[in-house]
Amino acid sequence: MRIFLCIGILFISCNSEKQKISESETSKKEYDMYVPSEMATHMNRMFDIQENIKNQIQSGIIPNEFPEEILKIHTAKLSDFKERNQNFEAFSHLFLERFELIFDTTSSVPLKQRYNDVVNLCISCHQTECTGPIPRIQKLIIK
């Protein structure tokens, strides 16, 4: 029972794209019980924040307000089956470092490139931690 529940959660939070097709009748009940972790909720916030910045850049606005709530990546609780391992910690530090650079108005690196560097870090961490949302994250790239 417990194992089934974990697998259900794993599919939803990390493989939601594929899971929708393969979902079987017997496991439906488990999905109904799914409550997103604090980190999963925060990740969706991070997605929105990043998408907002993308829209600003594309409309020629220079983002100048660092959203403090992004820092919650350091404290938000992960799903039960996941742990804050060294890999996660290393990537989250690197991610925040790059994220801060978006707001560095003195940087000589083009804004679009600093923005895309952040999206690529989202993807790098996801490649090792949670591959499901990658196709969605890729849409954040500014071409």
Q: Which residues bind ligand HEC (CB under 6 A)?
A: 13, 36-37, 39-40, 43-44, 46-47, 50, 78-79, 82, 88, 91-92, 95, 121-122, 125-126, 129-130, 133, 136-137
The least distance separating ligand HEC from the CB of residue 3, rounded to whole angstroms, comes to: 17
Which tokens hold the place of 29?
A: 């009940």
Kindly tell me which of 2 and 108 has the beta carbon lying closer to ligand HEC. Answer: 2
d(CA 51, CA 10) in angstroms, rounded, equals 25
Q: Is 130 exposed, middle or buried (0-12, 13-18, 19+ CB in 10 A)?
A: buried
Cβ closer to ligand HEC: 111 or 130? 130
Q: Which CB atom, from 29 or from 139, has the smaller least distance to ligand HEC?
A: 139
Which 3 state secondary structure label does DSSP give 1?
Answer: coil
**CA separation for the pair 12, 6 (Å, rounded):** 10
Taking the complex as a whole, the smallest distance from the CB of residue 133 to ligand HEC amounts, in Å, to 4
CB of 81 to ligand HEC, least distance (A): 8
Closer of 29 and 77 to ligand HEC (Cβ):
77
Question: Whose Cβ is closer to ligand HEC: residue 43's or residue 57's?
Answer: 43
Distance of CA 23 to CAs 26, 89, 130, Å?
9, 32, 19
The Cα 65–Cα 49 span in angstroms is 11
| Rounded least distance, CB 122 to ligand HEC, Å | 3
